[in-house]
Amino acid sequence: AGGGRMIDRLRKWYYNAAGFNKLGLMRDDTLHEDDDVKEALKRLPEHLYNERVFRIKRALDLSLKHQILPKDQWVKYEEDHPYLEPYLKEVIRERREREAWNKK
């Protein structure tokens, strides 16, 4: 149990050290947009897509101004949820299935 807490503290430290949360971004906002991610984004419900676009635009604006959000507005490790992950997993599964089918 002690080792698990240490790993969790290390994860939280790394999450904060990465810095994207200080711009109001979530982890899934920082994914490289390859073909799989682009397809997953198309499948997002409109409200999740709009929230993502808002966070990214705000982060770009802050970055251009060399600013960060006030600490009370940073995305906390516990609040960051993988909103894109289920859609991305589905896209990857479908792509692999197509690739396997095409090899036959």
3-103: in CATH 1.10.3720.10: no
Domain regions of the chain by residue span: 3-103
- The Cα–Cα gap between 61 and 103 comes to 46
Give pLDDT, residue 4. Answer: 83
Give pLDDT, residue 1. Answer: 58
Could you tell me the pTM of the whole model?
A: 0.87
Q: Is 81 left (phi over 0), alpha (psi -120 to 50) or beta?
A: beta
Chain centroid to CA 69: 18
List of the chain residues with pLDDT < 50: none
- The Cα–Cα gap between 24 and 50 comes to 14
Give pLDDT, residue 6. Answer: 92
Give pLDDT, residue 32. Answer: 97
Give pLDDT, residue 72. Answer: 96
Give pLDDT, residue 3. Answer: 77
